[in-house]
Structure 1
C-alpha cells in the first residue's frame, strides 16, 4: 500500500505528450541595438528569434501573439519582445524601478542557463515601463553592488506593448570562454487573465524541454578578484542611553563560478521581519527570511521542503559568519555556511547538488552544531527522477541530538501536471525523536500518506475567467499504531473576468481526540493584484475541541504611483477573543530613497516604527529608524545607520 500512490502517478506519465523541443542558432550582433523601447526589425536582424507561447498549466496556445529576439556580443546578452494585446489600456505596468518585484504586472521573462546543464537558471523579467526583476541562480540579496542590474526600456503600442533589455554577462556565473550550447526559455504573464505562457513546456520539472541555443560564444569576462566590503556604523538613542556600534559585510568571487560572503557583527535588528497571523494551527510556523546574509546563495543551502534540517529563520544573532556557494563544475553545486557566537556555539551547514542529466538530480546536506548546552548533527539525501511527465522523489533525513537522541524522516512520492490537472501523492514517516534543532519539523511521530488533486481550467463562459476544484487528504498514525491525524479537504475557486475571485473550502478531520470541521469563504478583487486589492476571509467551525470563528479584512491601495498602502485586520474568537491589526505605508521618493513605516496592534500591545532609507542602488546607504521594527510594543529608539561600499582589488 505504501507504494500504491507512487505507482499510480507513474502510470500517468504517458497521458500527456510534451511539447517539442525548440532550437535557436547564432545571434551574435555586430552592432548593439539602440535600447529605446522601440523594437525595430533592422536592429534585431542578426538576433535569433522565436514565437508561439503556450499556457503554462494547460498547454493551450496563447490567445495573444508574442514574438521575441535574443542576441549577444562580448559584453551583453540582448533581449526584446513584442506582446500583442487587443486592449492596451488594460496592460499593467505599475513598477518602473530596476531590481524590483514585478508580481501583478504584465511582463515577459527570459530564463538563461549558460552552462547548458539544466542545473542553474537565471531569470530576467521586464515590463512596459522598463521595470525589471532579477533572480540569479542560487539566490542573491537585494543590493546592486552584489547582484548587478540589467537595463530595460518598454512602451505601450497600438497593438500591445514591447520592450528591449540588456543583460551584462558579468552578473552571471559562466563556464570557460568559448562556443557553448546555452539553454533558454521565454515566458509571458498577462495580468488581467492571470495566466502565464511559456515557449517551452517545463511542467513537472521537465527542464530538458528548454530550448537549445546553439553556437553561443561565451566571452572571457574580466573577473578581477575584488573583495566588496560594506562596513557599517550605527549610532543613536535607545533605553535612555546612547548607542554606538558597527560591523562589516564582505563579498568576493573566488572563481568565475564560486563566491564567498562574510559578516562580522551583523545588524539584523533594523530589518523588518514578517508577522505571523492569528490563524489556528496545531503546529509551529515559520515566517519568510528577509536578512540579506541568508538570502545570498539560499537556493544552494535548501535543506528540504516542508521539513528541513536547516532553516535560517531559526538562527538568531551571532558574532561572525561566512558562506561559500556556487558551482564546482558544470553539473555540481556546492555550498557551505559557518557561524560562530563567541563562547557559546558554532554552526556549520554544507550541501552538494548534482544533476546527472535532464531527468535525475541528487542533493545531500549536513548540519553540525556544537554548543555549551548541546551538540547536534543532521544529514539529508534527496533524489528526484523524471519519468515521462511524472516527477518521482525520495528523501531521507537523520538527526542526532545530545538531548533528544536519534531520529529519522523518510518520504517518497510523485507529482504530475498537465492539461489543467495536477496531482501528487506521498508516503512519509517521521520518528518520534526526529529533531532538527536549527531546522523545521512541525510534527513528528507519524507515518502515513498525503495526497492532492487539482483541476483548473480557463474559460470565457458566463463572464468567467477561470474555475478550479481541489481535493486533498491526509491519513497518519503514530509509530505505535494509534490514530494521529486524518483530514479531507474540498475547495473550489472561481474567478470572473473583472478580477473578482471566490474561494470556498470545506475541511473535516481528526487530530488525536479532536474532531475538527470548518468552512471557509474567501473573496477578493482583483485577484492577486499586489498594488490595489481588497480581500475578505471568513472561517467558521470547530477546531481543537472548541468553536472557532475568524474574520480577516485586508486591502492594498496605491493612490498614486509612488505611495503604497496596506491594511490587515484579523478577529478571532475561540475560548476568548483576539485581534491583530497591521497597517503599513511606503513612499518612494525617487533616487532609491523611501520613507516607510508599520503600525502593529496585537491584542493589547501596540508597536510602530518609521524609517527613511537610501538603499538598493550603488553607493553609500543611509537608514534612519525611529522605533524597533520587530518589537511587540513601541520602543523609544532613534538610530542612524550608514553603510559605505568599498571595492578592494587583490
Structure 2
C-alpha cells in the first residue's frame, strides 16, 4: 500500500497546479490502486449439469409441439430477464431432447398481447433485430469463449451465426431446420440443429447452452439459465451458459464441400470465367478452405460516404473467401483484406482446438496488380478470461521486397464484485527482408462496471515512423500518445427512456521522431426512447499539426435525431454536423429513410452532403429489394456522386440444395453504369 500512498501524495500536488486532464488521470490511478489491492472474486457460473433427454423418434419440425418426444423432453423451467431483477413481461417455456444426429429444442412463447407480435423480415439470414425472436446459443467445445447462434423469428425466418464465421451459401455453411406456429396465447417453435454443423472434440458428450427470447417491444431479452445482476455485458456472457450432458455426439468422417461456379457476361462485362471453392474438415475442430479463381466481381462492396477524413476510410469486406473464419484472423492493422484486390489461388486453415485458436491463409495472384500474402494467427486461452496470441503477416507486390510484421498479444481480466477489470497489451515489429522497419506498441486498461455506474478506458500507443505493413490498415504513423475515455451506460426495463450512453474522450499525441502531432477532446450523449426515437448531441475539439507549417484548430458540433428504431426498414435519421475542419468552414448533413411498401418490397434512401470551405460534394444512394420468396429476391442500387452515377439490378437465388443463381444487369462496383449482363451459377458438390 505504500506505493499507492506515495502516488496519491504526488498526484494531489500535481492536480493542484495542472489541468483537468491531470485530475482525471489521478482519479483513475487511485481506482487502479484500489483494484490492485482488492481480492478478485471468482466468476459465478452454472456448475450443475442439465441432462438432455434422449428421443427415439425425432419430432416433425413444423412448429407444433404435438410430437411424443416433447412429453418426455427435459424442461428448462422459466426464463429470466438478462442481468435484471425485474419480472419478465411474458412467460417462456422451453424443452430439449436429442438423438444421435441432432439437438432438438422447442419453445412456447406466451404473449398476452398477440396483436403486438412483430415479424417483418422474411429473407433468411436477414435483419431480425426488430422482430420477435427466439434463439439457441451453443458453446460446442465447452470453453466458455465462443458460441454459434441459431435464431427463429415469429414468422419462421431463420438466421445463424457460426462461431468461426460463415458465408451465405447454405450448402457451404451447413443447414438446419426450424419452424413456428401461431397459437391463441402466442406462438410455438421447434429447432433441429445437426451436430455436423458444430465443432467439438472427438468423443464429446456435452455442450453449453443459452436459450433466449427477444420481444420487439421490450428492451431486455429473457434467457435461460438466469444471469446474475453483476454481469456488465448487456447481451451475453458465455461464463453463464448451462452445461448440458447426455448427448451422443458422433464422429463425422471428413467430407469436402466443393463449390464450383461459372460466370458469363455480355456487353461491358463480357467474358467467361470459372473457379472453385473447397471446404474440407481437417479435424473435428479445424477447417481447411481452398479457392481457385474465386469470383469477386459479383460481390457488392461497401460504399464510403463523402464526409471529410484526414485519413483513408475503412470499409468492410464481403468476399466469401475472406469472410470464412474471419474471427480467427489478425486485426485490420495487420490484415485489412481490401488490400488484397485479386486472388488466383488461396488456402486457409481456421478453427479452434481446445484452448488454441488458429487462423492462417495464403493467397497469390499474377499479372498487373499481382500480389502474394501469407498470414498466421495463433491464440492460447488461459483459464476462462485470459489469453496470449502470436500473429504474423507477410506480403509483397511483384518486384518489391517482402513486408513482414510480427505481433505478440496478451490479455488479463479479473472481476471484483460487479466490476470487470481488463488489461491488454500488444507489441508489434515490422521489417522488409532483413531490414528493421519500426515497431508498434499498445497498452490498455479498462474498468467496466454494471449499468448506471461510470467506467473508464485508458491507453498508451506508439506507431513507429518507419513501421510498414503491406497488408494492414494504417491510416497514420509516426505518433505516440495516450488516451482516456470515461463513460456511463444504463438501460431501463420500463418507462419512456429505454437507454442512454454518455462519454467523454481525451487524447494527446506527439510524433515519434519528436514534435507535437495533435490533441483531441470529445464529449457526447445518446438517448434512446421506447417509442423508437433517439437523440445524439456531441462536441469535439482538435488541434492538429498537419505539416511543419500548418496547424489546424478544428471544432465540430454534432446533432442527430433518428426515428423508427423499432421497425424494420422504416426507420430514418437526420444528422447535421457543423464547425471548422482543416482550417475551413465545415458542414455535413445526412438524411436516411427506409420505406416498406409491402411485406416483400422495401427501399432505403441515403443522402449526404459535405460543404468544406464552400466546396460542395453530394452523394445519393438508393437501394431496394423485392423478395420473391425466402431464398429468392430482386434487388438494385443507385449511387450518384461527383457527377458519376452507377445503377445495377440483380436477381439472387440461394437454395438449401441445388443451384444458386445470380443475374446482374450492370456492375455493382463501378463509378458509372455498365451496359452489360452477368450470369453466375454455383452448385455444391
With structure 1 as the length reference, what TM-score do the two structures score? 0.91
CA distance, structure 2, for counterparts of residue 410 and residue 5 of structure 1: 21
Check the 8 A contact 2:144/2:241 in 1, yes or no.
Answer: no
Check the 8 A contact 1:119/1:331 in 2, yes or no.
Answer: no
Matches within 5 A, 1:113-512: 113-157=139-183, 159-180=185-206, 182-198=207-223, 199-200=226-227, 203=232, 207=237, 209-223=239-253, 225-239=254-268, 242-301=270-329, 303-304=330-331, 308-327=333-352, 329-342=353-366, 344-370=370-396, 371-388=398-415, 389-401=420-432, 405-415=436-446, 416-421=448-453, 422-459=455-492, 463-512=496-545
For residues 76 and 477 of structure 1, do their structure 2 counterparts lie closer, same or farther at Cα, with a shift above 3 Å needed? same
Q: Which runs of 4+ in 1 moved over 6 A?
A: 1-4, 13-18
SS of residue paired to 1:145: helix
SS of residue paired to 2:61: coil
**2:54 matches 1:46:** no
**TM superposition shift of 1:69:** 2.8
1:608 is matched with which residue: 633, 647, 663? 647
Q: Residue deviations 1:516-550, cap 9 Å, x none?
A: 11111111112264421121111111111111101
CA distance, structure 2, for counterparts of residue 15 and residue 514 of structure 1: 46
Q: Residue deviations 1:170-196, cap 9 Å, x none?
A: 11112112433x222233333333434
CA distance, structure 2, for counterparts of residue 41 and residue 270 of structure 1: 44
**TM superposition shift of 1:615:** 2.3
SS of residue paired to 2:246: strand
For residues 270 and 183 of structure 1, do their structure 2 counterparts lie closer, same or farther at Cα, with a shift above 3 Å needed? same
My pick for the range that moved more, 199-208 or 246-255, is 199-208
CA distance, structure 1, for counterparts of residue 403 and residue 141 of structure 2: 37
CA distance, structure 1, for counterparts of residue 42 and residue 184 of structure 2: 37
For residues 357 and 348 of structure 1, do their structure 2 counterparts lie closer, same or farther at Cα, with a shift above 3 Å needed? same
**2:583 matches 1:558:** no
CA distance, structure 2, for counterparts of residue 607 and residue 86 of structure 1: 49
**TM superposition shift of 1:349:** 0.8
SS of residue paired to 1:447: strand
Q: Which residue number corresponds to residue 598 of structure 1?
A: 637
SS of residue paired to 2:624: strand
Q: Which residue number corresponds to residue 107 of structure 1?
A: 133
CA distance, structure 1, for counterparts of residue 483 and residue 186 of structure 2: 44
CA distance, structure 2, for counterparts of residue 44 and residue 63 of structure 1: 26
**TM superposition shift of 1:242:** 4.2
**2:571 matches 1:533:** yes
SS of residue paired to 1:102: coil
Q: Work out the number of aligned pairs and report it.
A: 638
For residues 395 and 474 of structure 1, do their structure 2 counterparts lie closer, same or farther at Cα, with a shift above 3 Å needed? same
CA distance, structure 2, for counterparts of residue 603 and residue 499 of structure 1: 34
Q: Which residue number corresponds to residue 8 of structure 2?
A: none
**TM superposition shift of 1:459:** 4.2
CA distance, structure 1, for counterparts of residue 508 and residue 591 of structure 2: 33
CA distance, structure 1, for counterparts of residue 139 and residue 671 of structure 2: 44
**TM superposition shift of 1:497:** 2.4
How well do the aligned residues superpose, as a CA RMSD in angstroms? 2.9
Check the 8 A contact 1:122/1:137 in 2, yes or no.
Answer: yes
**TM superposition shift of 1:156:** 4.5
Q: Which residue number corresponds to residue 668 of structure 2?
A: 629
For residues 355 and 490 of structure 1, do their structure 2 counterparts lie closer, same or farther at Cα, with a shift above 3 Å needed? same
SS of residue paired to 1:78: strand
For residues 448 and 393 of structure 1, do their structure 2 counterparts lie closer, same or farther at Cα, with a shift above 3 Å needed? same
Check the 8 A contact 2:365/2:371 in 1, yes or no.
Answer: yes
For residues 374 and 192 of structure 1, do their structure 2 counterparts lie closer, same or farther at Cα, with a shift above 3 Å needed? farther
For residues 159 and 510 of structure 1, do their structure 2 counterparts lie closer, same or farther at Cα, with a shift above 3 Å needed? farther
**TM superposition shift of 1:297:** 0.8
**TM superposition shift of 1:278:** 1.2
**TM superposition shift of 1:586:** 1.1
**TM superposition shift of 1:62:** 4.5
Specify every segment of 5 or more residues in structure 1 that has no aligned partner in the other structure, as ranges. none
CA distance, structure 2, for counterparts of residue 16 and residue 473 of structure 1: 31
Q: Residue deviations 1:29-76, cap 9 Å, x none?
A: 3243443324569715432414343346x7766544444333322111
My pick for the range that moved more, 597-606 or 120-129, is 120-129
With structure 2 as the length reference, what TM-score do the two structures score? 0.86
Specify every segment of 5 or more residues in structure 2 that has no aligned partner in the other structure, as ranges. 1-21, 546-550
**TM superposition shift of 1:119:** 3.7
CA distance, structure 2, for counterparts of residue 451 and residue 157 of structure 1: 52
CA distance, structure 1, for counterparts of residue 666 and residue 134 of structure 2: 40
